[in-house]
Every structure is written in C-alpha cells, then in structure tokens.
Structure 1
Amino acid sequence: MNAVEIEAAVSELAESPCDTQEFPFAFLAAFGNKETTIARLRKGDTNKSDVPGGVLQRSHIHLAICASGQVNATLNALRASPQTTKGKVKFILATDGDTLEAEDMANGETIACEYAKFAGHFGFFLPLAGISTIKEIKDSAIDVRATGRLNKLYLELLRENPDWATDERRQDMNHFMGRLIFCFFAEDTGIFSSNGLFTKTVDRMSDAASGNTHDVIRTIFHAMNVPTKGNARAEAKIPGWTDAFPYVNGGLFGGSNDVPRFTRMARTYLLHAGQLDWHEINPDIFGSMIQAVADDEERGSLGMHYTSVPNILKVLNPLFLDDLRAQLEASGDNKAKLLNLRKRMARIRVFDPACGSGNFLVIAYKQMREIEAEINRRREEPADLKSVIPLTNFRGIELRSFPAEIARLALIIAEYQCDVLYRGQMQAVQDFLPLEAENWITCGNALRLDWLALCPPTGTGVKVVADDLFETPLDQSEIDFANEGGETYICGNPPYVGATVKPPKGASAETKERLKREAESRKADLETLFANETSSWKSLDYVSGWFMQFSKYAKATQSACAFVSTNSVMQGEQVSRLWPLILGESLRINFAYTSFKWANLAANNAGVTVVIVGLARKSPGSVALYEDLGADGIKRRDVDNINAYLIPYRDVYVDARSGVISQIKEMTNGSKPADGGHLILSPEEARDFARKDSRTASYIRPFIGTEDTIHGDFRYCLWIKDRESADAMSIPLIKSRTDEVIKMRSESSKELTKDGAATPYAFQQVRQRDNETVILVPRHSSERREYLPISYFQAGAIVADGAFGVFGAEIWTMALLVSKLHLLWIATVCGKLETRYRYSNTLGWNTFPVPTLTEQNKTDLTECAENILLAREAHFPATIADLYDPDNMPEDLRRAHERNDEVLERVYIGRRFRNDTERLEKLFDQYTKMTAAGAKPAKKTIRAGKTAQ
C-alpha cells in the first residue's frame, strides 16, 4: 500500500465507531497487513501480548483496548511489558474508543488525540507499512489526504469522460485540476471572501440528481475571469450568485472554461476534497505528491514523491543560500549592508531545468523570503513592506504538462503563505489578486531547449501568456525584466536513468514498447548534445545531458549549478568519458556530496544512491567536500580541489587498460560454459555421478563464482580436455549431458554458440588451465565489508564467468587484493551497483599502482597472505560472508588484515597512512607517475578459447 491508500483506510477507521474487539485487527489491516497475518494474530498463534486486551505483532506494534479513562495507564503497561521488549516492537498504542495515545519506541516521540482525529497522525505510524517517515508528513496529514481525495476525483472524472484521458484533451484535464486546487486553497486562506466559498457554492447550486455540477463549476470559473468593477459581469451575463467570487485574472481561468461531466460519485469526491482544511497545505510536499495523479505509470506510487527539505537544502545551501546567510551575519545591524544584501537577493535567479512540481524552486523561494524577513526586521522596516523577490526569478523546465502546472501553482501558493507569515493576512490578501500573467515554468524537453533563451544572464526572458497561465509556447514575445548584474543558480534533480534500461520482469508488451520509445528519445537527446563532442556518448547516463547543458550555459554567463545525480557518472569509465568535456579549462567542482541515499516517502526506505555535484567558474580558494553520515550528521572538508571521482586531488582520469601498469599478474574473466546448465552439477549431482560411475570423478571440478565463494555454496562442473573427450563421452552419464549441450547450442541464435555444438564437452570460453592455483575476485560485493572477499584455491578449481581470476599467481598477490588500499582504489575508480562494489579487471586491477616490490617485500606479503588464510581456516566452517561481517569479524582475522595493511602501506611511504584521503592522494600520484612515464601495458596472455587443452 502507498501512503495515500493507508491514509484513506485509517480515515475510514477513525470515522467509524470504535469496535473494541475489532480495532486492533482493523488498524493493522489499514497498514497493509495480509489477511493471513491478521488471522494468525486473531487466533492467538502469533499474538504474544501479556497486556489485557492486547495484540502484539512482533517487530511492529503492541496495542491494547482498555476501559474508559485508562488509556495512559494502559500505555504505561505496554511500555513496561517484557513482551514489548522481547518482541522488538516499534510502536505501542492504547485507546478506549474516546482518546488514543501512542509512542514510537525508537525515539520516545508520542501522540495523544481524540479517537476520531487519530487519522491526522497516520504519518506517525507509516513505518508499520515499511514506509520511511519524514517529519513534515508526521506533522501534517493534509497533503497526503488532499492527494488521495483529488486522485479519486480524477479517476472518476476520467471514467465518466474517457475523451478527457486522450492525448488531445489531457492538457484540458490537467488545467481543470489546477483550477480546482487553486479554489480549494483560496477558499480556506482568506483569498476568497468567505471560508469554504467554492465548496459551499457547488454544494448549494448543483444537484446530484440533475447532473448540473459541471455547469455550476463552469459558471464559477467564467466569473473569476471577468473583472468585478463596472458592468463587466452583467454584460457577460454572469449570474448574481457568483458575485462573491473575485476577479483572479493571470490566465488561470482564461481560455476555455470547459468542465468534464460529473457523476454523483464525482460530485461527492469533489465536496470531500473541499471539506479538508487547505490552509495547512505545504506546496512543496503537496506539489510533489500530486504530480503522480495525472501519470498513469506513476499512480501506483501515489503519495511517495515527496523529497525532504533537508535533502533539497543539501543542494541549495552550498550553492548559494549559505553565502547569503554568511553575508547576513556579516552585515549585523548595518542598515546599508543589509540593504545591499536585499538588493542582491532581488536579482538572484534560481533555475531548475528538471523542476517536476517545483519543490526545489519552492524551497529556494521560502528560504530567501526568510532571509529577507530578517533583513527587514534588522532594518526596522514597516511590517507590511512588500517583498523585493519576484516569483519570476524562479524558473523551471518540466517535460510533463501537469507537474509544470503544479509547479507554477505551488510557487503562487508559497508566495501567498510567505506574505501571510511576514506581512500579515490583510496585506497578503490585498496584494494577491489579480494574479500576474507572466509564466516562468516552461513545459518542454530541457535537453532540447536553449537555456539561455529561457533564463538569460540579464534583462529579458519572462514569457507572456495571453490566454493560459500554464501553456508556454516558445515562440511568444518577451517582456523586459530588470536583472542587470544579477546571479543565476541552476539546480535540480534530473531523471535517474542509466545508459540502458531493462523492462521490469513480467512487463506487458505495451510497457516494453513504451520503454523502448522513451529510450530512443533519450538516446536522441544525448546524441544531439554529445555527438560532436565524443564518440562514447552512448554509454553515458541521461543526467549527463544536464551537466553538458550547464557547461554550455556557463560559457555565456557567470553562473553556478548543483545537480543531484546518480553516482554512476562519478565512477568507472563514465568519468573519463564525460568530465573532461564538462570541466575543461573554465569550470571546476566547487562543492560535492559523496554517495548517499536520496530517499523519498517510499516503501522499505527505498531510494536511489546519488551524489550532489556543484559546478562553477574556476577561481582561487578552497572547495567543500561533504559526506552524509546519517544519524551522525554531515561532515565537511575544505580542500584545494575536488576531482571527478569526488576525492580531494587534482583532476586525473583513469582509463580502462588491456594490460597491467604494475609488475603484477594478469587478471582475467572466469570461464564461460554457454551450456544451458548441462555441464554444471550441484553437490548432490556430483556425488551421484561418482557413485553411479567412478570414471566420472576425474572429469568433475569445483565450479566457483561470486556467490559460491562468498557464501560457501560450491557447485561443480564437467571439465573435459580435447584429448580426454572421446573417453569422457563414452560414459553414459556424461554423454546424456553433452547431448543436451549439443541441442542447446545448435538452437542458439548466436553463431559462436552454434559453433560450440561441435565441442559439447567443453566450455565455450576457457580462460584457465586446471593445474594452476586460483585467486578468485568477485565481480560484486557488499560495501559493508572492510575488505574485498577474495578467495584462494588450489589447482583444480574452475572460476565461473561471474567472477575474475588471477591464475598461477604467487600468494603475495592476494595480499595486494585484500588490502585496504586496493579496496579504496576499487571504490573510487570502478563503477558501483547502488553502493556495492563492482569490480573491473581492466579498470580496477590493471590500473592499480603498485611500487616495484623487492624480494623481501614479496616474502613479507606472502607471510601476511598466509596468516589471513590460516586465520580463516581456524574458524572453519564459517564462510567468507560470516567472517567478514563487520559486526562479527573474528579478532585474529582482523589482526591479520591490519598487519597486512601495515606491511603494504610501508612499501608505499615507509609508514601507515593517516587516513583514506592520504591513501588516495598517494595512489593517484603513483598512478599519474606510472602512466605519465609511458609505462607500457603488460604483454597480454591469450587465454580465451573454445576448449581446454
């Protein structure tokens, strides 16, 4: 269930009389618990409560119904219950049907309210549904409630008016919803002359039976587009019952006033939405959530789109807000300095070229108004002084029409709320209407539009909209806007899309076709931007286009940007392909956040792993590198330079290489079966083969991949050399397997696989000999481990193509691979899956800078590697996963690794490194010297082949 669905279920429960027998189970059902789960609790099988009238769901909640007036005492009993502790519950809750109290056991936060009003606190309990909670949602349920009501209305209107769901009329529907939102907000905030004016008028003048609701709404909309002065409304033949509605102008009610037809149910949904208290609407929360209403693909995640203010401020604060606050602090009470700051702020433009529903712009506007209010307070200005910060300085581009409309509306609401807060209700209402006609949110493709035309350095650029507040044709005239000498800050959260996107499992043909069209469109966007710059653009993530657009924009104007980006553009091969084009001679990274989770209000705390990258013109002085430490706060370091790997070092780009730059053994991919699974044996099958025919034993080898080596679930394979093939295939057990391989390979569409049907006993690609020792390197591994989960095997083990192998290497090579230095190098220069390490032999091993090792160095490292293996062996049968769990790593194994790190680091600088920054600086320095000196790639050993010799 999503947040909107949960809110609706909780509201329905709260509005009904409390059934003391059923409440605990109805409450759990409202948060998405399955019927089977509730049935077991109801039966008592899983209910371990020791409190009278209690129900305990382990790891979730302990709740109890109690006698009248005993709520607080029952909550105390729940808190003191041994079962509450034993069951590791997140919440306790008590109610007598009149009042309700609850407590979050993690932080001690509590709620207490009337039973009928507990739905207003539904956000408090969202963790019960696996949904991360955000303070703003906890504090107010209105935004989620409003989203849910409007979603029901939207779907019902489309059901009754299917033509409004077509591409031709979707914009009309979106525009209609925008008008409704304005009316709901205006009637509860004093903009309209009386509270609830719109909802009450629709209720009074429309008749569900006659179906005239659409006519009533159309008449109201028409009235608000005609001035109230003079005889304008009389001449327009507008009925007198609309006289209380003001003249809104601004294009919001201009153009067509067509309204979809309302069913009885749609009318009910409209009235329910209007009965909410829209006074408390938070435009950045509501705007983010409501954008899913009009998107068929996103509606399943309704109510999940809100991004927290602290995350947005990670972008805006270092981009420009921190500087404004610093200037405010430096100004003290000096009225001249404060005035200069206010004048500066009046000329600042904030431009989000991927603005969605406008939450970055709304937060930027609110923060600037807060600073301005403090300036006015210190200058002792009149309380009703009008703001000098115009909404037209907050510009955006959004591809989809409905979020673009909501972004414009959200800014209008934010301006009004700020005026009420800082100037007073009377002045805010007086200055609010009529609305201005400028439109500063453009609906279009940000990678195809000219940013300079939409947000020029100075002077002009605000589009005039004659009829429609939200449409922004690009061929319109422009109006002058004084911004001489102003600053432009570009920010945003561009789409999270990689170079390739696979359809989700089980996707319909329609979904696959849609994703294909979207991928082709994105490809065309990037080709337009990059085709003349690099031949490697096809491997770049989509967000690269926004960085490229800014680099072009920055050539014409003094500006800075900060984008939230998938961390993949700062890792792996994308770094050397993208960032030399962006940074060049003029730009630098002037602040950055290293990888962290950019979480929305999503189930299971889901969130994509991102970085924040700020760019500006090169200038003297330090730059800021931030690290999000979660509960421990944010760590800031001021450094001389941040390179494209987001480390404090000069600009260096590591390219994949076909050979090693150091005097170390080559690493290759494992061997690829391409056999349909017929050459692979489970442990049971391998034992069964040997038992049924002892001749098979000489052809069976351990077959080890990434998961096998980490978790110890080894498989086996048939490993047959050319000279052994005749004897091996004379064994019936083996022959039956190779026959299946012939069939599978013959039916393949790949020519190489088809050719392999001639040698069905052999792997299609063989990259090792079976008489070599093996150091196995997993392709992917958890970032939680302090060391890479490297394994060492005696001769005979076969490495699967899901892993890498260093074959026949001296054991000191393992000491390099399991070192903290190597892990840090991999984490920095190789790409990642989310935050997990993604190993690359060409990018991570071949480029790893190792000083020339003396024989004594090799002897010392050999001893270190052997000690690590002995420490592992001492804890048999513990797996690599067990041994390298950071919370449970054996002390002797940890000491062996510490010794290994000390020995290796002394090879580099004669002592231990002080920290990772010093380690990386040395590694990059060593890499730079080794590659600049013209180090030739090591001669590559050819191992790939069709058969084992």
Structure 2
Amino acid sequence: MDKGGFAPTLHTSIRQFNGKLFHDATALPLSAAQVELLRLAAAADWTTVEPAIFGTLLERALDPHERHRLGAHYTPRRYVERLVVPAVLEPLRREWAAAQAASAQLHDNDKDTEARGELVKFLRRLTSVKVLDPACGSGNFLYVTLEHLKRLEGEVLAAINAYGQTGLLDLAGGTTVSPRQLLGLELNPRAAAIADVVLRIGYLQWHIRTHGLTQLAEPLLDDYQNIRHQDAVLAHGTPRPRLDAHGQPVTRWDGRTTRPNPATGQEVPDENARVAVQDYPNPHPTSWPDADFIVGNPPFIGTSRMRDLLGDGYTEALRKAYAGRGVPESADFVMYWWHKAALAVRDGHALRFGFITTNSIKQTFNRQVMLPFVGGDNAPLQLNFAIPDHPWVTSEDGAAVRIAMTVADRTRPGRAWGRLLTVKTETRPEGDDAADVTFTEQQSRIQPDLTIGAELDNAKNLKANASIAYQGFKLHGGGFIVSPARAAEIGLGKIPELDKHIQPFLNGKDLAATPRGVLVIDLFGLKANEVLQRFPAVYQHIVETVKPEREQNNRAIYRDNWWTFGEPRIKLRAAWLGLDKYIVTPRVAKHSFFLFLEKGILPDDKLVVFATNDAYHLGILSSQIHTVWSLATGGKLVDRPVYDKTKCFDPFPFPDATPAQQARIRELAKTLDAHRKRQQAAHPGLTLTNLYNVVEKLRAGHALTPKEQATHQQGLASIVLELHRDLDAAVAAAYGWPTALPDAELLAHLVALNRARAAEEKAGTVRYLRPAYQAPGHQQTGLNLPTRVATETAAAVALLPWPAELAKQIQTVRDVVTQAQAPLTPKQVAARFAGAGPAKVQPILDTLAALSLLRWVEAENAYAA
C-alpha cells in the first residue's frame, strides 16, 4: 500500500495509497483474539461507513481529563450543518444564483458561449475555494463541508452540461472539489491524523458512488498536508521549567488529586500531587493559512478554568501574547479563535467565518472581544447569522453547556442584515446525543449581544451611577461559612468583640429560595497573628478548613492572605459606611427582584449590592422599565438571566423625577419591600421564587394549581402584583413615557436617553444618585433635559460602486433589494449605485424575478425579496 505493485502473499497487484500514511508500516503486537477481531472488521463492508464516527471514537478514547483540558467534544452532524450552511454554503449559493442569472440573461440575448462561460467561471471559483477549521478535531466540520461542496459542484456540472458540452472531471488537474481545499489546525496529533483520513475516506466514497473505481489516479490518497498539527492561537519558543529564586522548579497542585483532612475528614487538595509549571518564551499569536471561509467548534474552556486546565505558564503566555490586541484576560478560551477569525475577515484574508461557542459569548466579558468588530455604527463586520442559545450534547461524556452559533463577514454598505434564530422547541430522541430543535426567525441587524433591536452595547457608563453597585464578597474558602452551632463553638456569643467578625451571610439562593441560615467569618482588617492571639478557636478553624485550599491557589495574594476573603470588596465597605441598609438582587435568578438588607448581613458574590438606602432607587430598580433593560443587557446562564452590574446598572439612565414623583415611588417601594418580608416572616416556607411564579401567572391570566393557590394565599400575591403595577405606572410617569410601551420601543428610548445623559455629563452636569457620597462638596447645576426622547433619524446611506462583471452586478442588486425594508423600484435601486441608472438595473431585476430570486410587486411597480 505504501509503494503499490504486486503483493506475492495476496497474489494480486495493490494500488499505491499514500506514502505518508503507510510509509512506517510497523506491525503492532496483537494477541490472537485481537487478530481475530481485526479479521472480522476487515470482512465488513466499509464502503458506506459514516466517516464522522471516527470523531466519536476519538472522543471516547481520550482520557476524560485530557478531553476536558483540550475542550474536545464531538459535534453532532446536524449541529455542524446548522453552522456550515450559513457560514460557507449560503454565500457560495448566492454567487451561484448570480452566475445562473447572468448566464440566463446572456442566453436570452443569444450569447450561449458567454452564458456557458459564466457557469464555468463559477465552477473554477468553486474548485478553488479554501475552507479552514482552526480547531478541526477529527475533521467533522471539514468532512460535512466537503459533502455540501460536492453537491453544489454536481448542480454546476449539470447546468454546464445543459449547454450540450460535458463538464469533464480532471482529477489530476485540480478541477474538481477535493480535500486539497479543506485546511485544518489541530493540537492533538491523533485527532489531526484522523481528520486527514476522514476527509480522504469521504472523498473516495463520493468518487466511488459517482464514478466507480475508474479515474482514480495513484496514489489514491494524495499527500495534501493540509491538516496541520499545531496550536491554533499561540506560538512560542521551546517550553522550559519555571524556576524559583533558588533555581528550583516551581510546581503547583495538579488540580485533581485530593486527600481527607485528618482533622475534619473533608477532601482537601493533596499538596504532594504536584506538576511542574512551564514557561513559554516569546509568546505571540499564531498565523493561520489564508482561506475564503473559516468554520469550527473551538475548545469550551471558561476563563476561570484556563489556569487549571491549560497550566499557569500557558495561560500567562497566551494572555501576554494578546495583551493590547483586543482580547481581555477575562475572555473565555474560545474568544481567541473568534478574535483571530474576525481579524482575518476584517483584513481581507477571509470572506466569512462561523463558530460554535458556549452561549456565554453574549456575556459582557466575551462581548468585549466582539464589540470592536460588530458593535457601533461604523463596525467593520456584521453578524449574518446567530443562534444565541442552543442545546448541546448530553451524552455521558458530553459537555454540560449550552452553545451559541455566530457567523460574520465584512459590513456591506447600507443596512446590515442578519438572520437571528431563537429556539422554539427542543426534544431529545431516545438514545440520541443531539436534540431536535425548531426555531423562530427574525431578520434585521444583529447586535453583539445576539439580539435584534436597540444598540444596547453602545450605551455609555454614567458617572451618575458610579461607585454604587458592587458584587458581594468572594470568599475563596468554604470554611469561612459556618453554622450557628459551629459559630458558638468557636466563640460567638462568648467573646463580645467577635460578634462583628461573624455575621449572617446570604447568597442568591438564600434570597430566592429557602435560606440556609448560615454565618460567615469575616476577619477583614486583622492580621493573622491578631486572629491567633484574640480568637484562637477561630484561627484553628480557618487553618483547618480554609488554609489548605488557599495554599494551592495560583494567585499569591490569595495564598499569602489566606485568613481573609479572597475578594474583601474594600470599595463596597467604604460605600456603605453610614448606611443602615442597602439594596441587593441575585446575579442569577429566574425572576428579577430587588430588596433591602439590613446592615450587618453580608452578601456573597452571587448578589449584586447597591450602596444606597433610598427607597426611591429601590422603586426604579424594581420597575418593569428596569427589568426590561436588565434582561436585554444582562447575560444568561442556561435558562436564567444574569444581572451584570456593568451593563445592567452602570449605563442605566434614571428618570428626571419631580419631588412628588420621587415621593410616590419611594412610598410604593417601601410598601412592596415590607409586604414581602412580612408575609415571609409569617410563612417561613414561602420563597420569593414561588411567590413571583404566582405573580407572573396572575399577570398572564393563567389558572393557578392547588400548590400555587396556597402560595397565593401565603404571599397575598395579588397585592404584590397590584403594587408592581402601581410602581410601573409611577416610574413610567417619572420618565414621561406611556406605561405599556413595547419592549423594543422602550429599549430604544432608554438607549437614546443614555446618550443624552452621557452628553449632559460631558458638558459638566451629573445627576448623582448619592451626591454627598459620590461627589462630596460638589454643587451640580440643574439641567432641564426632557426624558421623552424623539426618534432618531436614519443616517444617509453611502453609494455602492457598480461592479464590472455581470454576475457581481446581479449579486449586488439582489443584496440591495433583499436587505431593503420595503419593495424598491428600479429607480430606487439604481439610486443606491454610483454609475448605474435604471436602464442598467431593470434587466437584472427582471432576470432575478424570472428566476424567482426576487419578487415582482405589481401594485407598486417594485421588487422585493
């Protein structure tokens, strides 16, 4: 098989396959049983095997830890097609439709030679297209792409043959779609080798189905070397062990191995399970081969897991390589691929790209990568296709995540247009890793948060809201949390000065569901030796339950200050000085609600804290106007909204309310807060989640179940709903807007108001929420800016150049009509171009309508998609 020729043991001639694959023909040491299995496998009919199964085999062969480290997960075929079609096939089919239309127009003018030439020109284009998967794994994306390209090629050849001449395939001359056009990058050498074979098997299967075993030149598997074994995002010098100040190798906990704590019996990191820390000299972004299209499914590794799974040295080198290039350290691993692909398209090295990512791409820390490319009025790229939230595989070895799909290319002059698909239903057939999904579709400009509507990412942070909202305390040590009984054992209630260091502790679930009733040890402001001297029992507790975990932390500040919270929130502590209470909301919750907590109750980092005790602010935040804004600007964790203070609060424009309006909102907010707390105190089993489940059903007019009826009575839910309605009306009146604005119009109003407030602040007037705290001694001037915002007029549309080639003219005219919000007359279409009048445009429109690529609207003498 390596060299071809006569095989004496087989008594027949063997074709030459490929020297690269079979040159090193080392015999494996197989047992008799393994030989028998191999013989049975060889006797099977492999001609119709699905090449994609090799991806499944590879995934199952990988060690689970290695699989997670690499972010490797097999992508089901229908998920692959869901991305490949809009990313690669749709633009090619638009080009093919334009070539057919140009051919038809020439044919109608008795120019058959030129008509056929348009089709042949597209065939050359199709057989020269390059597709890159920079995280190709076992090649599923490339294999599926190859299949679709071959189907399109068949259509092209059939159209060419319709002119009475045969579109012959010259396999040796490269005039057919083949694996040479499919490029891949893959870090795992086994996956790279499998990807190479998968493409060749797929191609040979197509050839045998179409032509039999004829026309197969040797070697049967050409050595294209188009699947590279390399890191797709980071290039560097030879890794070397990191050494400490004494020249000894630096090691870290391996992230997996634990041992029981001899004092508590709980599992803690095993300090003896160490791995060497490697340094990666001269780190810099890799170079990708030029390709027309880039597609793939890069690794799913969140920013918080990168050090654990990729190593300290690699993570630091990667972040250093991209520092100042548009990828913040807070970005997930997948966003490095997104950034590189977006650069390639922006700079003209590729036409379009599409990736499967986790659905956290919509969240603020990842959107920062997208914004320079697809955010704002002058964005260089546009999102053509997106699915913001899509199910992922749920097999035993599958990733427990939801995914998103995004496709982007260079912005075309005129209105940006894209298809946004939102999951309508999803069912998972028995024994199937992939879900069957149906969608609803919207068509308009897709924003960086993968929505259609107001340009929320263009909203500016307001000085008026600065230094008010914070995340709660991040402990980095579960041992800080104690039960009341344990707190009593270590001195609470016995040592008076300890009371201020052990206080009630709440997280999001405590607020939304049943409180745990736990306390937290807060030693902020104390040195370790002070804790030892003043509270020895507390010191021992922290040594046993917190220190072992913190000693393995990668950050020195966490290791060195092991007795205090990892994130003690110094600014928050300063902000709530002098307050008797503050406002909180869960970062992640099914329902949006805000409430007061008494000072002395400590919030964890799953709560967003607002350093204000003004019930007027509580009322604004609790209103439907703010809820609509926060749901649109925040992220999503699986199916639950995420309140991101940097997007939901910092840019949110409060109304310019009169003193009377403020008093009314303040009164309603106090009543709402007191009512909920009173009913929960009377009924300890009543949770805010259950209460608001009932409130939302009442709002929608749905019947309540017996269990919900009980919740309704315990929480007096109708009163809660009535208070919210009154509050919504009062807040809308403060803004000067109708109470029942549609969400899209409301968001547009808020974005416009944000712009007005930002301009106001730039001019020197800031409407501080807590002026005495935010700007002590500062006398701000009043500016009577109305909160009612006029609709902004659309900007003038730039003229498009008139292409020289007929097929390009047809494609551009079709794009203009397709993206128009209303049917266009030939004169209106021509007005979009520099150098083309109605006489040039009219025949193209007629041809497109005759081929059903556009629709003729007779009543308006116009054309539409």
TM-score clears 0.5: yes
What displacement does 1:489 show? 1.0
The yes-or-no answer on 1:541 pairing with 2:332 is yes
| Cα distance change, pair 841–933 in 1 and its aligned pair in 2 (3 A) | same
In the alignment, what sits opposite 2:386?
593
| SS across alignment from 2:320 | helix
| Cα distance change, pair 598–416 in 1 and its aligned pair in 2 (3 A) | farther
What displacement does 1:488 show? 0.6
In the alignment, residue 284 of structure 1 is paired with which amino acid?
A
In the alignment, what sits opposite 2:153?
372
In the alignment, what sits opposite 1:520?
313
What displacement does 1:341 show? 4.3
C-alpha RMSD of matched pairs (Å): 5.0
In the alignment, what sits opposite 2:77?
309
Q: 1:493 aligns with which of 297, 308, 315?
A: 297
Q: Residue 465 of structure 2 contacts residue 650 of structure 2 at CA under 8 Å; is this kept in 1? A: no
| Cα distance change, pair 433–918 in 1 and its aligned pair in 2 (3 A) | farther
In the alignment, what sits opposite 2:222?
436
Q: 2:538 aligns with which of 736, 741, 745?
A: 741
Q: Residue 288 of structure 1 contacts residue 359 of structure 1 at CA under 8 Å; is this kept in 2? A: no
Q: Residue 570 of structure 1 contacts residue 646 of structure 1 at CA under 8 Å; is this kept in 2? A: no
Q: Residue 497 of structure 1 contacts residue 541 of structure 1 at CA under 8 Å; is this kept in 2? A: yes
In the alignment, what sits opposite 1:247?
15
Q: Residue 480 of structure 2 contacts residue 542 of structure 2 at CA under 8 Å; is this kept in 1? A: no
Q: 1:810 aligns with which of 611, 614, 618?
A: 614
Between the aligned partners of 2:40 and 2:483, the Cα distance in structure 1 is: 63
In the alignment, residue 788 of structure 1 is paired with which amino acid?
S
| SS across alignment from 2:401 | strand
| Worse overlay, 847-856 or 597-606 | 597-606
| Cα distance change, pair 314–241 in 1 and its aligned pair in 2 (3 A) | same
In the alignment, what sits opposite 1:57?
none
The yes-or-no answer on 1:391 pairing with 2:168 is no
In the alignment, what sits opposite 2:513?
711
In the alignment, residue 656 of structure 2 is paired with which amino acid?
T
Q: Residue 575 of structure 1 contacts residue 645 of structure 1 at CA under 8 Å; is this kept in 2? A: no
Between the aligned partners of 1:677 and 1:609, the Cα distance in structure 2 is: 32
Q: CA deviation digits over 1:798-835, x for unaligned, max 9?
A: 54565333355232322333344434444454555555
What displacement does 1:717 show? 4.9
What displacement does 1:719 show? 11
Q: 1:638 aligns with which of 434, 443, 449?
A: 443
| Cα distance change, pair 253–673 in 1 and its aligned pair in 2 (3 A) | closer
- How many residues get paired? 642
Q: Residue 131 of structure 2 contacts residue 293 of structure 2 at CA under 8 Å; is this kept in 1? A: yes
The yes-or-no answer on 1:921 pairing with 2:748 is yes
In the alignment, what sits opposite 2:353?
561
Q: 1:571 aligns with which of 363, 375, 392?
A: 363
Q: Residue 861 of structure 1 contacts residue 900 of structure 1 at CA under 8 Å; is this kept in 2? A: yes
Between the aligned partners of 2:229 and 2:65, the Cα distance in structure 1 is: 19
Query: What aligned pairs does 1:306-455 form with structure 2 within 5 A after superposition?
Result: 306-326=74-94, 331=100, 334=104, 336=116, 339=120, 341-377=122-158, 386=169, 388-421=176-209, 423-427=210-214, 430=216, 434-448=220-234
Q: Residue 775 of structure 1 contacts residue 809 of structure 1 at CA under 8 Å; is this kept in 2? A: yes
In the alignment, residue 410 of structure 2 is paired with which amino acid?
R
What displacement does 1:415 show? 1.6
What displacement does 1:430 show? 4.7
Q: CA deviation digits over 1:738-786, x for unaligned, max 9?
A: 442355579968999999999xxx99995646972342222x323xx2x
What displacement does 1:684 show? 10
In the alignment, residue 565 of structure 1 is paired with which amino acid?
T
In the alignment, what sits opposite 2:832?
none
Q: Residue 465 of structure 2 contacts residue 649 of structure 2 at CA under 8 Å; is this kept in 1? A: no
| SS across alignment from 2:304 | coil
What displacement does 1:356 show? 1.1
In the alignment, what sits opposite 1:117?
none
Between the aligned partners of 1:551 and 1:302, the Cα distance in structure 2 is: 22
Between the aligned partners of 2:315 and 2:498, the Cα distance in structure 1 is: 53
In the alignment, residue 442 of structure 2 is paired with which amino acid?
R
| Cα distance change, pair 704–736 in 1 and its aligned pair in 2 (3 A) | farther
| Cα distance change, pair 328–654 in 1 and its aligned pair in 2 (3 A) | same
| Cα distance change, pair 940–753 in 1 and its aligned pair in 2 (3 A) | farther
Q: 1:934 aligns with which of 754, 761, 764?
A: 761
Q: CA deviation digits over 1:885-938, x for unaligned, max 9?
A: 477775734565455445534544622565443343333333333234435595
Query: What aligned pairs does 1:896-911 form with structure 2 within 5 A after superposition?
Result: 896-897=723-724, 900-901=727-728, 903-905=730-732, 907-908=734-735, 910-911=737-738
TM-score between the two structures when normalised by the length of structure 1: 0.57
| Cα distance change, pair 855–633 in 1 and its aligned pair in 2 (3 A) | farther
In the alignment, residue 3 of structure 2 is paired with which amino acid?
V
Between the aligned partners of 2:199 and 2:149, the Cα distance in structure 1 is: 13
Q: Which runs of 5+ in 1 are unaligned?
A: 1-223, 234-238, 451-482, 504-511, 726-733, 944-949
In the alignment, residue 396 of structure 2 is paired with which amino acid?
A
What displacement does 1:445 show? 1.7
| SS across alignment from 1:781 | coil
| Worse overlay, 864-873 or 262-271 | 864-873
In the alignment, what sits opposite 1:627?
421
Q: Residue 353 of structure 2 contacts residue 407 of structure 2 at CA under 8 Å; is this kept in 1? A: yes
Q: CA deviation digits over 1:603-643, x for unaligned, max 9?
A: 39744233323232221243214133142722332224634
Q: Residue 384 of structure 1 contacts residue 424 of structure 1 at CA under 8 Å; is this kept in 2? A: no
Q: CA deviation digits over 1:822-872, x for unaligned, max 9?
A: 344444545555554444445532332223222343344345535654478
Between the aligned partners of 1:389 and 1:756, the Cα distance in structure 2 is: 61
| Cα distance change, pair 313–907 in 1 and its aligned pair in 2 (3 A) | farther
In the alignment, what sits opposite 1:845?
649
The yes-or-no answer on 1:790 pairing with 2:567 is no
| Worse overlay, 628-637 or 902-911 | 902-911
Between the aligned partners of 2:366 and 2:156, the Cα distance in structure 1 is: 45
Larger relative CO (CA 8 A, sep 6+): 1 or 2? 2
| Cα distance change, pair 346–672 in 1 and its aligned pair in 2 (3 A) | closer
Q: Residue 392 of structure 1 contacts residue 440 of structure 1 at CA under 8 Å; is this kept in 2? A: yes
Q: CA deviation digits over 1:357-414, x for unaligned, max 9?
A: 1111111111122233334445556999547323211111111222112112111122
Between the aligned partners of 2:751 and 2:74, the Cα distance in structure 1 is: 39
Q: Residue 355 of structure 1 contacts residue 407 of structure 1 at CA under 8 Å; is this kept in 2? A: yes
TM-score between the two structures when normalised by the length of structure 2: 0.62
What displacement does 1:558 show? 5.3
Between the aligned partners of 1:435 and 1:718, the Cα distance in structure 2 is: 65
| Cα distance change, pair 240–377 in 1 and its aligned pair in 2 (3 A) | same
Q: Residue 676 of structure 1 contacts residue 741 of structure 1 at CA under 8 Å; is this kept in 2? A: no
In the alignment, residue 365 of structure 1 is paired with which amino acid?
L
Query: What aligned pairs does 1:206-225 form with structure 2 within 5 A after superposition?
Result: 224-225=1-2
Q: Residue 576 of structure 1 contacts residue 653 of structure 1 at CA under 8 Å; is this kept in 2? A: no
Taking only the aligned residue pairs, the percentage that are identical comes to 19
Q: Residue 293 of structure 1 contacts residue 299 of structure 1 at CA under 8 Å; is this kept in 2? A: no
Between the aligned partners of 2:229 and 2:492, the Cα distance in structure 1 is: 69
Query: What aligned pairs does 1:250-261 form with structure 2 within 5 A after superposition?
Result: 250-261=18-29
Q: Residue 359 of structure 2 contacts residue 402 of structure 2 at CA under 8 Å; is this kept in 1? A: yes
Q: 1:610 aligns with which of 403, 417, 427?
A: 403
Q: Residue 499 of structure 1 contacts residue 542 of structure 1 at CA under 8 Å; is this kept in 2? A: yes
What displacement does 1:439 show? 2.3
In the alignment, what sits opposite 1:476?
none
The yes-or-no answer on 1:270 pairing with 2:38 is yes
| SS across alignment from 1:396 | strand
Between the aligned partners of 1:544 and 1:346, the Cα distance in structure 2 is: 31
Q: Residue 135 of structure 2 contacts residue 232 of structure 2 at CA under 8 Å; is this kept in 1? A: yes
| SS across alignment from 1:497 | coil
Q: Residue 683 of structure 1 contacts residue 716 of structure 1 at CA under 8 Å; is this kept in 2? A: no
Between the aligned partners of 2:730 and 2:14, the Cα distance in structure 1 is: 80
